[in-house]
Chains A and B, each alone.
Chain A
């Protein structure tokens, strides 16, 4: 319920999250309210089950990969801070952020961070390379039973071949960035958050 949501979130906390993620004050309070309504265990953290309870996410072919992105290695709970950090990748890049000086840490919603986020969805074993096998697994999640192993294998081979520059039959982050260089990542990997 709304009242519980905003009483538990301290102002200092909001300030810190604001700095870290770039979300506005009202966006943070609204997302906190969302966070608490997803938190069925009412313990201030979300579990994988809490995410899976969202039907629209549960039917997403990449749902499990997306949910996984919220959980750091070996953890099975995410708090509000971590939740916001992951969400921040999908914040659109605003005009005033483009011209920002390069001194500070790179914002979570930069083009490079958005790409990195996508890269990690493919990189199942987290070795900073997308192998043919990893690509196949992700493709399988997306197509289900509708395409044969053989056909899918060819797609994977071709995709790797096209993107692989150093001939190791795997895609590094640099190669990944190169392949997607012409794609409007800023727009495709953003959600229109209301102010």
Chain B
């Protein structure tokens, strides 16, 4: 029994030493040993091979699979505007056929709609050898099944423990590091050390996710005293961005592990955490952010104006609050490559721990980060228009669909005013078509 124990202890020590030597040290120093590059190369090759196998295997037995690249949708929408559609039917006034337009729109929305699909994981065109994607691809050929099984073993028996170790080291050193730095008096040394701790820990955490991040246009990187706004897919967005520079975070105070991290980091770095009761007080939020931005020596604030995680296929409405503060906005577009793993946090379905487990048992997190040229509010532009302009820029750069809808619809019901808008449009048309104008003349069409 004792022998078994000492062997286990020795294995544990060797494991930790290896992890430290090969991952933690290089990441702390910001250098790469090329291991993750090699891993990515193998991964890309394997997935390419799998795609070819699937295409071959699918052709005969199940032709419908190949024909249905889920990403292509179910229907082709009719975009004829209501005015044209209904006027077309009209001779003079209301007709029974007026409801056809609303019917068809309703059914189109039932079959396929722009909003709800953004709150569930994007479907892939080809299988990426993870269990949870797409149709039952792993029965296609024996070789594919074998590769899939090997994949499961690698992901759960090798990658998961490695990543778990790294995540633990990363989070612990984040808490310990920031707490220690937090003891120092406010000075430039403290700021410098705080940045070092944040950068180092986020590098370790990125490795815990096997993250490969490509940063583009670094010359536009957010500057001190500015506000960085980005599209939001998952809490790991923060790590992806911090890996290349520090930000002051804005958010709600959480409980549990998140709470511990938050209260540790805020000692070292001027993050702005709000109590749940405070966040509803918009004036207070704006005031605290204004104070922060006014101090040009403070780190740029990082805000996700969508207010909720979207599945990384689109950008939804930007809440106007962040655009009322003033100052320079540094837009950032984040686009993950879904082939290697789904970064989207479907918070209504998974809690944070099971989400992290899913990420850590995926192949890797590959993402592109684009720094866009800074933007300022134009004269005569209100906060909503400015928010939309920034949103467009991010959507365009990230190759994401731009949607006017509020991400809050994930949980809340749509406001009645939208329906009233539709009713108003229809009423206007009735009036214009003369039903009401010709009331006095009676039934001339008899």
User: Could you tell me which A residues sit within 8 Å of B by CB distance?
Assistant: 1-3, 6-7, 24-27, 29-31, 33-34, 37-38, 51-63, 66, 87, 90, 117-118, 121-122, 138-139, 142-147, 151, 154-155, 158-159, 161-163, 171, 176, 179-180, 183, 185, 188-195
Contact = CB atoms under 8 A, between A and B. Distances in A.
B64 A147 contact: no
A157 B446 CA distance: 13
B131 interface: yes
For chain A, what secondary structure do more than half of its interface residues adopt (helix, strand, loop), or is it mixed?
helix
Contacts of B115: 54-56
Contact of B423 (A27, A31, A61, A66): A61
B123 A192 contact: no
Given A53-B116, A143-B423, A155-B94, A33 B70 contact: yes
Interface in B402-441: 405, 409, 413-414, 418-424, 426-428, 430-431, 435-436, 439
Query: Which 8 A-B residue pairs are closest in the complex by CB-CB distance?
Result: A144-B423, A146-B427, A56-B109, A66-B106, A26-B64, A59-B418, A188-B100, A192-B76
A17 to B, nearest CB: 14
B97 interface: yes
Contacts of B103: 62, 66, 90, 117-118, 121, 189
A54 B116 CA distance: 6
Contacts of B109: 54, 56-57, 60
B68 interface: yes
6 contacts: A2-B133, A3-B136, A59-B418, A162-B443, A180-B97, A193-B111
A155 B93 contact: yes
A83 to B, nearest CB: 9
A60 B106 contact: yes
B99 A138 contact: yes
Contacts of B133: 1-3
Contacts of B419: 58-61, 63, 144
Q: Which residue of B95, B96, B121 has the most chain A CB atoms within 10 A of its CB atom?
A: B96
Contacts of B76: 192, 194
A159 B405 contact: no
A69 to B, nearest CB: 9
A167 B421 CA distance: 37
B72 A194 contact: yes
A91 B221 CA distance: 51
Contacts of B104: 90, 188-191
A111 to B, nearest CB: 12
B113 to A, nearest CB: 5
Given A146-B423, A191-B75, A191-B111, A57 B96 contact: no
A56 B103 CA distance: 12
Nearest to A66: B106
B324 interface: no
B295 interface: no
Interface in B39-95: 64, 67-68, 70, 72-78, 85, 89, 93-95
B98 interface: yes
B22 interface: no
B96 A55 contact: no
Contacts of B244: none
Nearest to B119: A37
Nearest to A7: B136
A155 B132 CA distance: 55
B422 A183 contact: no
Contact of A30 (B68, B413, B420, B426): B68
Q: Which residue of B67, B93, B97 has the most chain A CB atoms within 10 A of its CB atom?
A: B97
B231 to A, nearest CB: 19
B134 interface: yes
A171 B76 CA distance: 34
A157 B102 CA distance: 22
A62 B443 contact: no
B112 interface: yes
B445 A3 contact: no
A63 B109 CA distance: 10
A27 B74 contact: yes
Contacts of B131: 3
B26 to A, nearest CB: 36
B257 interface: no
Contacts of A194: 72-76
A143 to B, nearest CB: 4
Contact of B110 (A57, A143, A185, A195): A57
A2 B70 contact: yes
Nearest to B114: A56
Contacts of B64: 24-26, 29
Contact of A3 (B73, B100, B135, B428): B135
Given A3-B131, A30-B68, A59 B422 contact: yes
A132 to B, nearest CB: 13
Nearest to B116: A54
A181 B44 CA distance: 59
A174 B228 CA distance: 63
B105 interface: yes
B102 A61 contact: yes
Q: Which residue of A3, A145, A154, A183 has the most chain B CB atoms within 10 A of its CB atom?
A: A3
B81 to A, nearest CB: 14
Interface in B262-309: none
B108 interface: yes
B96 A191 contact: no
A27 B75 CA distance: 9
A193 B74 CA distance: 6
B243 interface: no
A47 B99 CA distance: 24
A144 B427 contact: yes
Nearest to B427: A146
Contacts of A62: 99, 102-103, 106
Interface string B116-134: 1100110100000001111
